[in-house]
Amino acid sequence: MVCARYLVAIFAAFLLEGAVASRLAVGGAHPDLGLALVVYAGLFHGRPLGVGVGFLVGLLRGCLEPEWFGLEALLLPWVGFAAGSTSNVLNRSHPILQGILIAALLLLHDLARAGVLAGASPAGALALWVSEAPGTALYTALVVPPAVLWLPRLLAGRGGRALR
């Protein structure tokens, strides 16, 4: 049941990113709903679901970037894995901690991605990362946790609540 909810949430996040998030751009930065969903999946349901959601979100994103199809599916499972590893360490219901975790994992994800895209140029990767990632990380961390305060109940279900 939880998996079905996440499948719906993945597709909804993907459509929302295309339809709404682009209109919420501030200084070129948009909230990264897909990555936030991966973090929430890992945080509230552990590593396997975080990895699975990360892989599916990555595949969906790849549809729009045929040139790098598979890259996001390679990186986002790590985000879910890392979020799942913090599942029992953090007070996961705390929106500020959620925001910090989302921002940190988004920065790491973008650093890895910039490294791949910039090839053999570490300076280029760093420059790309500095120009694009911090704004998005801050925006996502500020917007998503308050907006999804209600989601843990919906997504966690009985098993998720029992883990808290």
Partner 1 sequence: MARRGFVRPGLSDWLFLALTLVLSLALLAAGPEARAGAALFLGRTLFLPFRPALAIQPGAPEARREILALRERLARESLEWSTFEETLRENDRLRRLLDFREQETSPLVPAQVVGRSLDRFGESWLIAPGGGAPARPGQAVVSVDGLVGCVYAADGGFGNVRTLRNGALQVSAMLSGTRHAGMLHWQPLAGGLVLTGIPMHVPVRRGDEVMTSGYGGIFPKGIAVGEVVSTGDDSTSLVKRVVVRPRTDFAETEEVFLLGN
Position 43 contacts partner 1 (CB under 8 A): no
* CA angle, 153 then 164 then 16, to 5°: 35
Stretch of 1-9, 95-103, 132-140, 150-158 lying at the interface with partner 1 (CB under 8 A): 132-140
For partner 1, which residue of 1, 4, 91, 119 counts as binding (CB under 8 A)? 91
Cα–Cα distance for residue pair 83/3, rounded to 1 Å:
17
Task: Choose among 112, 156, 108: nearest CA to 134.
Answer: 108
What would the two tokens of residue 124 be? 């280029």
Binding mask 3-32 for partner 1 (x = CB under 8 A): --------x--x--xx--xxx-x--xxx-x
| 105 lies in the binding site for partner 1 (CB under 8 A) | no
Chain centroid to CA 145: 12
Binding flag, residue 87, partner 1 (CB under 8 A): yes
Examine residue 101 and tell whether it contacts partner 1 (CB under 8 A).
Answer: no
